[in-house]
Structure 1
Amino acid sequence: MAAGHFSAIFHKHDSKKETLEMKRPSLKPATLHVLHALAVMCVAAPHISHAQQAADLAASSAAEAINTVEVVGSAVSASHSAPAQSSLSARSAQSIVSDDFIRNLTSPVADFSQVLQMTPGMYSYSPNGVGLGDTKTYFRGFADGDYTVSFDGIPFQDTNSPSHHTWAFFPSQFLGGAVVDRSPGSAATIGPANFGGSVNLLSRNLESEQRTSVFDSYGSFNTKIYGAEFESGQFGANGNQNLLLNAHQMTSDGYQTYNKQTRDAVSLKYQFNITDSTALTLFGSYIDLKANTPNTKGATRAQIAQFGDDYLLSNNPKQANYYGYNFYHVTSDFEYAGLTSNLGNGWKLDDKLYTYAYHNQQNYNGSTITATSATDKLNSYRTYGNLLRLSQESSLGVLRTGLWAENADTNRYQIPSDPRSWVDSVVPNFHERFKTTTLQPFVEYEFQVASDLKITPGVKYSSYRQSLTQYADNGKTVGNLGGLPSIDHAITYNSVLPSLDVHYMLQPNWSVYGQYATGDEIPPTSVFDVKNANVTALPSSIKSKTFQIGSVWKSDRFTFDIDAYHIKFDNAYSSFTDNAGNTTFFSNGSSTTQGIEAEGNLVLGAGFSLYANATYGTAKYGNGQWVASAPSDTETLGLNYNRGGWDIGWLNKRVGTMYNDNGSVHQAVKIAPFTISNLFVNYTIRHPLQFVKKAKIQFGVNNLFDKHSIVGVNPASTTTSAPAPGDVLTLLPARALSLTVSLDF
């Protein structure tokens, strides 16, 4: 599906389909056989042997990254009230997060991690408070950097590794929804790390009527956010143009001591329907963030025992953890120009030309105060790219092809410095500049085998080239290079990634799918951070092979989707350094993650609906030990009420038992189950005054039950897993309240 139509299609309403989906289904001939096979696979998938898995993968399928949400029945239908759901056209395990969820059931200071965390299996946390830190999201045993994140179909990520910064890109004010695909996707799903899956953040939907909105919010930890938004409505000849502009400022003391935050942000989206068949979309955003966050973002057991759960930094310049010795200044921008056009004869064009940048100037201190105890750190890059998609629809099916091309320039360094004066040493810990070139051509064909059966094979070629210049340093990474000022080297990673999926409509409101998908992820640039940059054995991309089956059901009162998955994947890189100082990098073995996921939404009546999802599975190495941060199960339960001017939602997520590593062994520290519970109460008044179109009041509570659970442990020792005073702990922040008022004129 063309990426340029995401916003328009996201709320597509098909009255004919709606009528069909409300009928009670009668099974087609042979449908019972299909259902029996699906049931058997759902039960058997987690226990398939390696040999069986290889055979099944070859005959299975991959899925398209973006699908539509079918609105079934009336405005109070299960599809309309669901915070997240799959699609009847889904060809993989996915969840689509609604715009209503973002507007009504997330904190006004939320970043994009909060948009995702209530979907099946996904979880995240910020020890400084929601939206007040650089948060990471996990699912299926995959950490941030093991999956692609994109915005309106355009991937964005760090250049030294494909990781992401939630506080620097796309706060909730910029977002109109998200599509979470828990698979590498089909050949047409582009990205730098579809190894584990992909998350596509969607820009705001444009509205037909003009409005000007102002909003103001105050909450716990002295958190404030205020701003304005202008929606032009349709204007120009025949209403062929539209503009949305948002600007806001957020300030907070943060839950952790002296971990203050300030964010200034602005975004703009403009659409121009040039003709009936061609449209231009422009988007731009800019964020300026300042924070007192240290490099180590948690306190030790001893510090917490002495000073409390919220302890992080001190206000004493004589102490090494003085907040004046630890601060960030991060700026980012993201821009694209998108052109969509119906070319005729079934051909459609979708092209996006884009650029984005990240400039992170960080200063932080160590455990003492000396002339070299602090670090002056820079991570800065500018990326340019183009994403071209072409499709052609005929009676035989749909052809999808295109090319993703990208270039990035990066400058990174870390220099020893004096925290009292920030006078840097002459020689850095490391300094490198590099260029990254990415090319991903792809092609897939969706064969319309029968009116209800589609089979889509495809292939993607993935090529990444890194050209690095590393400068002489003080010996902590590449060394003095034998007197040379710098050394150049380059490496290219190439992969061929096939995919195959089968999609079958059992009934107009009931679908099943099967998928085989392959993904890859390139090593971080740190593989070259060895003596004289002499990597004796160049690593290769790590790969994943995913097999999934699933089913989606929709009716007027109930939505339900379920999937079973089995993934075989390589792990990140380990290294061995010989006596001469030469380091060899190699894959850290392989892992298998497998399990079952389900979600559903039930309309209870009288304005109430019940949402739930659950996952159960394992993510283990070949020796049987658990992959870090992979819970054995997760459960989400939510109760929503929507009637009149009220929109109330309570969502509670439980994350099951998981483990952290200690730098020496896996499964070193056990993390007990914890829960994240949020409540939001919204009340909207239409035309409260003659000149006010709408007034909305929101009362929000994050961490409703005030849990201070330990959600992460970085052990002080690599030789024992016993609790120690020096262990660095990550805790859930205390309960946070917020009150927000917005007015539309």
Structure 2
Amino acid sequence: MTTLKSRLYSRTADVRAWRVLAATAALATGLGLSTAALAADATSTATADADTGVVDRPDYGVRVEELTVTAVSRAQENAPSKAPLQATQPTSIITHDAIDQFVAQTGDYTEVILLTPSISGVSFNGPGLYEAKSTLRGFQDGQYNITYDGIPFADTNDPTHHSTSFFPSSNIGAVAVERGPGAAGQLGQANFGGSVNIFSPEVGDTFGGSEQVTYGSWNTAQSVSLLNTGAIDALHGTKALIGLSALRTDGALTHSGAYGINIMTRAVVPLWGSWKATLFTTINHTHVYQDDNNGATLAQIAQFGKYYALNDIPGTNQYYKINQVNKHTDFEYIRLNGDVTPKTHIEDTTYTYYYDNNTWSPNDVTGTTTNSTKDANGNTVPGNHIPGYVKANHYRVVGNILRVNQDIGIGVIKAGLWYEWSGTHRYRYDYDMTASITPTVPNYDQKPVLDASKNQISTAPANIQFDQHSSWHQYQPFVDFELKPNDRLTLTPGFKWLHFERDVWGPYNQKNRNGIPYSATYEKPLYFFTANYRLRDNWSVYGQFATGFLVPPLSVLQTNNPNTGNLKPQETRNYQIGTVFQSGRVSFDADVYYIDFNNLLQSFVCAPGSTTCTPNDTVWFNSGGATYKGFEGEATINVNEHLYVFGNGSVNFAEDKANPYKQLSGAPRGTAAIGAIWRDGPWKLSISDKYVAEQWANNYDTTNPNPIAAEALYQAYKIRGYHQTDFTASYTIEHWRLQASVYNLFNSQSVVKVNGAGTYANGVVTGALSDQYYFQPPRSFQLSAKYSF
């Protein structure tokens, strides 16, 4: 074993604490902020509302039920994305009201966070109708944490995420994007580039509910049913929210239909004194016709159009019935919290989540390779036989988060321990996808793996690429000292120790296809310091220094000779300062950041015939790093009692240290958004435009000795910036809310991603026939009707 010493649907009867307050309070508890900092800064009216309520948010260090609310500025209330005055790092909150107005009813969290600066990403099949990945400041999915009610969740091969698999729109009450590692109590494996914090819907004290139906482009239909039991006297005031949602669509891409169903329950159970229990469960199933290696080539685009994916022609690689993904997931937690003494508060959360992915896919849908399968004797089967595979990934994660807050007079000590275990089984079996819709005929096409001396090391049958088990055990003790020398200044030094152990075993490991067990242990101290100073009651400045660490992916151990002893952990040092200002007419925040990323983890495939490494084996190594730096800001202005205008933007540099001024692939140079909200009685209209600046599909080739060739290939895969404009009109009358939306109003169909396979030779890019292109989904509409009772 190698050791490297190195977080709202209730019917609230009496008071409306505007949605911005609900999300601010929720975020503050996630950050462990003080209650005194949450007093609002301007006046606003209070009315009853069926979709909000500051009731029973998870604690994360501060009990929301004790917050004192005086007022909220109208500019802040109507801003689709805003920062709280008590922020200690760049933070954007998107409330349920903003989600309802600006995000498609079918959208998932990746659509929600597009309202904030420095975020980009596209669902190619339509909003929420395809798994999507988001980029934050140039950091890719897997390089930042995602939490749900404060619980980090991620895949078990690396900390990436599946946007449609766990939490559909009915499971989202609010979202907060933190652009930075946070404090020591911010948990996750990718304590690196920031975090996206999703909050569950609220549970209210009174009985009520709603039924919403939505219909839109591509024959998309959705139903969301919510029932709030209110406080049940027979059960000592227990209250619960029950949700059921269903979705089906044909999708923007050809023959890429999907459907899904979700059941969610959140209950709050008073126990004794200040103690209570919160129980949550969500069960989700999705099915989509999708190739595992999706994306259209230029030849396919020329013949079938930009939105070609699959067809209905049996016997072809693109036949939709042999390209499908089925996923089953669940996510549960039990949270206990209460006071041990007047100055000691404890919260303990035990949780588990499960992911089950079964995928059928041909090896290639580009049409650039020749179909061929082999029989049990290794002979080529005559005729056109489609090689493909059945892939599965099943994992269960179990964990516990203990938090203890101790009031010490001048501040609060916030300490705790996170422990987590995972168990995973992954496999991929090769099949002939031609003979039957259900794969039954094996394809014996795998070649034996040889070591440097040409000895066979693989033991798997020729139809099994891998069949592998893995697990991890990790723990993170942490402590934050929230100190308040005076009423305006808050200082929070923090410390966390990261310990992560991973084990991998067969029977047939990925890559080397044998049963040899491998393991690795990673340890690292992490340091944090944040400060927030109130210049005025409605104006604050903050600063942060924090170290970050990214747990290496499972693939580091998927090699014949894992060299983890020679690898250094990927680390960051984060420096950022910012300011937040709120008045009755203006809400504004801005920040600048600098992130030093070291020990970039990279790999190469050992050349055939090599005597220094196993031929065709993957070799991992550290090479240099990158520098992330930029500026971000967002503002909302209350023009008059009906009109609010807003905007946000960022300039983001993510540059390879070895090649200054060369932007890393998939990292846009910046983002910008502008829009307006108009309210008049029952009417509410909004329009917004999001711009994502230029980016590159390929990194600059640092291994190419010819800088001209490297530059030419780099420039060949430059992706231009693109816009998307959305418009929504809603009308509320008594129990009804009617809404009509148009997304991508001007039908922009720009390239947003390229999987580039080309090379540069003789002055031109060649070998790019299998490059796969991805586009913005075309203009679409959604109509929805919601009845609340």
Indicate the TM-score class for this superposition, using the shorter chain for normalisation.
0.7 to 0.9
- CA shift for structure 1 position 66: 10
One-letter amino acid matched to 1:9: A
Name the structure 1 match of 2:732: 684
| Preserved contact between residue 736 and residue 786 of structure 2 (Cα < 8 Å) | yes
Which of 487, 500, 517 matches 2:529?
Answer: 500
Q: 1:737 aligns with which of 764, 771, 781?
A: 781
Q: Which amino acid aligns with 1:646?
A: W
Are positions 1:262 and 2:259 aligned together?
A: yes
Name the structure 2 match of 1:404: 418
Q: What is the TM-score of this pair, normalised by structure 1?
A: 0.87
Asked whether the equivalents of residues 21 and 72 of structure 1 are also in contact (C-alpha less than 8 Å), the reply is: no
Amino acid at match of 1:609: Y
**Structure 1: segments with no counterpart, 5+ residues:** 24-63, 687-693
The DSSP-based 3-state class of the residue aligned with 2:230 is coil
1:437 to 458, 468, 473: 473
* Alpha-carbon distance between aligned partners in 2 of 1:464 and 1:444, rounded to the nearest angstrom: 21
The 5-angstrom pairing of residues 413-428 of structure 1 reads 413-420=427-434, 421=436, 422-423=439-440, 424-425=442-443, 426=461, 427-428=463-464
Task: Please point out which of 445, 452, 466 is paired with 2:502.
Answer: 466
Secondary structure of 1:79's match? helix
Matched with 2:54 is none
Partner residue of 2:552? 523
Change (3 A) 1:273 1:110: same
Q: Deviations over 1:701-734 (max 9, x none)?
A: 1111110000111123134684844321010011
Paired with 1:226 and 1:403, the residues of 2 have a C-alpha distance of 40
Q: Does the 8 Å contact 1:68/1:87 carry over to 2?
A: no
Pick one of 138, 142, 158 that aligns with 1:145.
142
2:749 maps to which of 683, 702, 708: 708
The aligned amino acid for 1:137 is S
C-alpha distance in 1 between matches for 2:663 and 2:236: 56
Task: Summarize the Cα distance change of 1:651–1:71 in structure 2 as closer, same or farther, 3 Å threshold.
Answer: farther
Partner letter of residue 494 of structure 2?
A: G
Higher alpha-carbon deviation: 3-12 or 361-370: 3-12
Residue in 1 aligned with 2:379?
Answer: none
Q: Is the 8 A contact 1:21 1:508 kept in 2?
A: no
Shift of the alpha carbon at 1:235? 2.6
* Deviation at residue 664 of structure 1 after TM alignment: 5.1
| Superposed displacement of residue 557, structure 1 | 1.3
User: AA paired with 1:644?
Assistant: G
Superposed displacement of residue 19, structure 1: 7.6
Counterparts in 2 of 1:633 and 1:8: CA distance versus 1, 3 Å:
closer
Secondary structure at 1:442 match in 2? strand
CA distance in 2, matches of 1:517, 1:65: 20
- Give the alignment of 1:329-728 within 5 angstroms: 329-367=326-364, 369-371=371-373, 373-420=387-434, 421=436, 422-423=439-440, 424-425=442-443, 426=461, 427-472=463-508, 477-479=511-513, 481=514, 486-531=515-560, 533-535=561-563, 537-570=565-598, 571-575=600-604, 577=606, 579-582=611-614, 584-622=619-657, 623-624=659-660, 625-661=662-698, 667-668=714-715, 669-686=717-734, 694-719=735-760, 722=765, 724-728=768-772
Distance 1:8 1:143, change over 3 A: closer
Q: 2: CA distance between counterparts of 1:192 and 1:66?
A: 24
Deviations 1:490-527 (A, max 9, x none): 11111110011121111111111110011111111111
Aligned partner letter, 2:181: P
Matches within 5 A, 1:38-187: 77-187=74-184
Deviation at 1:528, TM superposition (A): 2.1
Aligned-partner residue type, residue 573 of structure 1: Q
**In the alignment, what sits opposite 2:187?**
190
Do 2:280 and 2:334's aligned partners in 1 also have CA atoms closer than 8 Å?
yes
CA contact 1:76–1:607 (8 Å) conserved in 2:
no
Cα distance in 2 for partners of 1:67, 1:274 equals: 16
1:71 and 1:77 in contact (8 A); partners too: no
Q: Which residue identity lines up with residue 92 of structure 1 in the other structure? A: Q
- Counterpart for residue 384 of structure 2: none
Residues 247-284 of structure 1, C-alpha deviations (whole Å, 9 max, x = no match): 11111110110111010111111012223411211110
Could you tell me how far apart the structure 2 residues matched to 1:660 and 1:496 are? 34
Once the two structures are overlaid, the 10-residue window that deviates more, 546-555 or 372-381, is 372-381
Letter in 2 for 1:619: A
How far off its partner does 1:632 sit? 1.6
**1:72, 1:658 → 2: CA distance?**
44
**What is the identity, as a one-letter code, of the residue corresponding to 2:775?**
L
Deviates more, 1:66-75 or 1:239-248: 66-75
Partner of 1:328: 325
Quote the offset at 1:366 in angstroms.
Answer: 2.2
**Deviation (angstroms), 1:638:** 1.7
Q: Report % sequence identity.
A: 30
- What do you get for the CA RMSD once the two structures are aligned? 2.8
Equivalence map 1:213-362=2 (5 Å): 213-236=210-233, 240-362=237-359
**Partner SS for 1:358:** strand
CA distance in 1, matches of 2:191, 2:328: 26
Q: CA deviation at 1:326?
A: 0.6
- Decide whether the 8 Å contact of 2:222 with 2:246 is kept in 1: yes
> Would the aligned equivalents of 1:240 and 1:274 in 2 still touch at CA under 8 Å?
no
Quote the offset at 1:17 in angstroms.
7.5
Which segment drifts farther, 613-622 or 204-213? 204-213
Which AA in structure 2 matches 1:585?
Answer: W
Residues 556 and 564 in structure 2, CA contact (< 8 A), matched pair in contact too: no
Structure-2 residue corresponding to 1:61:
none
C-alpha distance in 1 between matches for 2:627 and 2:699: 21
Q: Residue 388 and residue 581 in structure 1: after superposition, are their counterparts in 2 closer, same or farther (change >3 A)?
A: same
Assess, with a 3 A threshold, how the Cα gap between structure 1 residues 227 and 633 changes in structure 2: closer, same or farther. closer
1:614 partner letter: G
Task: Work out whether residues 71 and 79 of structure 1, in 8 Å CA contact, stay in contact via their aligned partners in 2.
Answer: no
8 Å Cα contact 1:65-1:189 kept in structure 2: no
SS at match of 1:469: strand
> Which letter does structure 1 place at the counterpart of 2:511?
T
> For 2:115, what is the secondary structure of its paired residue?
coil
Q: 1:513 to 1:7 in 2, by over 3 A?
A: closer
- C-alpha distance in 2, partners of 1:17/1:664? 49
1:79-103, CA deviations, whole angstroms, 9 ceiling, x for partnerless residues? 2111111111110011111011122
For 1:521-549, what per-residue CA distance to the aligned partner results, in whole angstroms no more than 9, with x for missing partners?
11111112223x55474534211110000
Question: CA-to-partner distance for each residue in 1:471-508, whole Å, 9 max, x for gaps?
Answer: 347xx7114x4xxxx11121111111001112111111
Aligned residue in 2 for 1:60: none
Counterpart code for 1:594: K
Secondary structure at the counterpart of residue 639 of structure 2: strand
Relative to 1, partners in 2 of residues 1:462 and 1:65: Cα closer, same or farther, differing over 3 Å? farther
Contact 2:38 2:86 in 1 (8 A): no
| Alpha-carbon separation, structure 2, partners of 1:535 and 1:430 | 21
d(CA) in 1 for partners of 2:555, 2:363 = 22
Contact 1:67 1:89 in 2 (8 A): no
Partner Cα separation in structure 1 for residue 301 and residue 37 of structure 2: 60
- TM superposition shift of 1:18: 6.1
